[in-house]
Amino acid sequence: MKKKIIILSAILFFAFACFALLPQQQSYAMDAEDVDNIIKVAEQGDTEAQYNLGMMYATGQGVVQDDAEAVKWFRKAAEKGLVEAQFQLGMMYATGWGVTQDDAEADKWFRKAAEQGGAEMEVLLGMMYDVGWYVEEDHAKAMKWYRKAEAQGETGVQYVLGMKYRDGIGVAQDYAEAVKWYRKAAGHGEADAQYDLGMMYHQGEGVAQDDAEAYFWLSLAAASGHEAARELRDTVAKELSQDELVETQKRVREWKPREWRPKTAEETIAD
């Protein structure tokens, strides 16, 4: 439970950006004429109307709630490429609402939606699998979506990848791999990643023990207001010589976050 809370807190801010991608339920009252009009237009092949009708059946708004009918109309809109319908159809397969539960079909429609919705959609899918939000908790699937999002430039998820490798959640525990992802996130100024990277250098986990390097990363995190980093930095400072301290403080003053750029074909995941 503690690990779940940690991961959720690390990626919660993505939900605000991703929420706009979720199918939104209409809040206004619908009279019979509104319902008849939507049904008529949907039957004529209008994609948006088909999706809206699917939402009406899924939520019981204006019609008798019917998941099977919802699936039928979501499918019609999804097959025409509507990203919201593709996502919702994936949800129906993932949960078994109105259709036989089928992970392969869910992944297929989630993938189609993500290909159009971009990295934010992939982060949302990772978060859903990570915390069991509408789908069965599956950390390995969460990792798959996080990595896809990172490859498209969603740098904020790099810290989550680092945590997962450090704790062995959804992947085999690998401190060296955790350090790699923490370094990526720390390079973009993520204070929590800087703190964790400093800890790993201090403890010699995944890297050779190096208090000067630990002090460097902890100092950066402390400059962002990270209280735990400040406390550990002051402890680590006692392990450094005066020359090491002066040189490392100079590095801290000169440090600047780096900009993310897409990987070329020749580059690997590692820096």
Name which of 137, 105, 41 is nearest 88 in CA terms: 105
Does 34 share its domain with 79? Answer: yes
Residue-wise burial string across 100-132, b where 16 or more C-beta atoms lie within 10 A, e elsewhere: eeeeebbbebbbbbbeebbbbbbbbbbbbbbbe
Q: 10: pLDDT confidence band, cut at 50, 70 and 90?
A: very low
Q: Give the domain-ending residue among 111, 128, 156.
A: 156
Does 150 share its domain with 50? Answer: yes
- Judged by average pLDDT, the poorest of 21-35, 150-164, 216-230 is 21-35
Residue 167 lies in a domain: no
Domain that residue 44 falls in = 1-156
Does 96 share its domain with 183? Answer: no
Does 111 share its domain with 183? Answer: no
Q: What is the separation of C-alpha 96 from the centre of its chain, rounded to a whole number of angstroms?
A: 23
**41 token code pair:** 């237009």
Does 236 share its domain with 142? Answer: no
The whole-angstrom separation of Cα 161 and Cα 139 is 11
Does 89 share its domain with 117? Answer: yes
pLDDT at site 259 = 53
Is the pLDDT score of 18 beyond 50?
no
pLDDT at site 156 = 87
pLDDT at site 15 = 44
Helices (H), 98-172: 103-117, 119-131, 139-151, 158-167
Q: 27: pLDDT confidence band, cut at 50, 70 and 90?
A: very low
Task: Judge residue 186's burial from the number of C-beta atoms within 10 Å of its C-beta, 0-12 exposed, 13-18 middle, 19 or more buried.
Answer: buried
pTM for the model: 0.73
- The total of structural domains in the chain comes to 2
Does 232 share its domain with 258? Answer: yes
Name which of 229, 201, 230 is nearest 213 in CA terms: 201
Q: 54: pLDDT confidence band, cut at 50, 70 and 90?
A: very high
Name which of 115, 217, 171, 154 is nearest 17 in CA terms: 154
Q: 12: pLDDT confidence band, cut at 50, 70 and 90?
A: very low
Note whether 93 and 109 are within 8 A (CB).
Answer: yes
Q: 33: pLDDT confidence band, cut at 50, 70 and 90?
A: confident
pLDDT at site 6 = 36
Question: How far lies 246's CA from each of 65, 199, 231, 236, 240, in Å?
Answer: 69, 20, 19, 14, 10
Q: Residue 238: helix, strand or coil by DSSP?
A: coil
pLDDT tens-place string over residues 101-116: 998 999 899 989 888 8
Question: Which comes out higher in pLDDT, residue 68 or 258?
Answer: 68
What type of residue is 166?
R
pLDDT tens-place string over residues 148-201: 999 988 888 999 999 999 999 999 999 999 999 999 999 999 999 999 999 999
Q: What percent of the chain has pLDDT over 70?
A: 85
CATH number at residue 114: 1.25.40.10
Residue-wise burial string across 228-255, b where 16 or more C-beta atoms lie within 10 A, e elsewhere: ebbebbeebbeebeeeebeebeeebeee
Does 151 share its domain with 181? Answer: no
Considering only the C-alpha atoms of the chain, give the largest distance between any 2 of them, rounded to a whole number of Å. 80
Name which of 5, 1, 14 is nearest 158 in CA terms: 14
